[in-house]
Amino acid sequence: MTTAAYADRACHLTVVVTENVRLARDTYRVRFECPELARRVVPGQFLMLRLHGENDPLLGRPLALYDTVVDTSGTPIGVDVVYLVVGKMTSRLARLTAGAKLDVWGPLGNGFPNEPVEQLFMVAGGIGQTPFLALGREALGLRSYGDRNRASGYAQKATLCYGARNAEYLAGVEDFRSLGLDVRVSTDDGSAGQRGLVTDLLNAALDAVPAGTSQRIVCCGPEKMMEAVAHLAMRREVPCQVSLETPMACGIGICFSCVTKVRDESGAGWDYRRTCVEGPVFDAKEIVF
pLDDT tens-digit series, residues 247-267? 899 988 999 999 999 998 877
Residues 194-237 have pLDDT tens digits of 999 999 999 999 999 999 999 999 999 999 999 999 999 999 99
CA distance 249 to 16: 23
Cβ neighbours around 84 below 10 Å, total? 19
pLDDT at 265: 82
Mean pLDDT of all residues in 35-63: 93
Q: Report the distance separating Cα 152 and Cα 146, nearest Å.
A: 11
Cα separation, 154 vs 164, in Å, equals 28
In this structure, the dihedral spanned by the alpha carbons of residues 211, 212, 213 and 218, taken in order and rounded to 10 degrees, is 90
Q: Which fold has domain 7-108?
A: Elongation Factor Tu (Ef-tu); domain 3 (2.40.30)
Q: Where in the chain is the domain with CATH 2.40.30.10?
A: 7-108
Write out pLDDT tens, residues 45-58. Answer: 999 999 999 888 88
Listed in order, the ranges of the chain carrying CATH 3.40.50.80 are: 118-238
Least confident stretch, 23-32, 243-252, 279-288: 243-252
Q: Please determine, looking at this structure, whether the domain spanning 118-238 carries the CATH number 3.40.50.80.
A: yes
- Over residues 77-101, the mean pLDDT reads 96
Phi, psi (deg, nearest 5) at residue 171: -120, 125
pLDDT the model gives residue 2: 57
**Pairwise CA distance, residues 26 & 12, whole Å:** 28
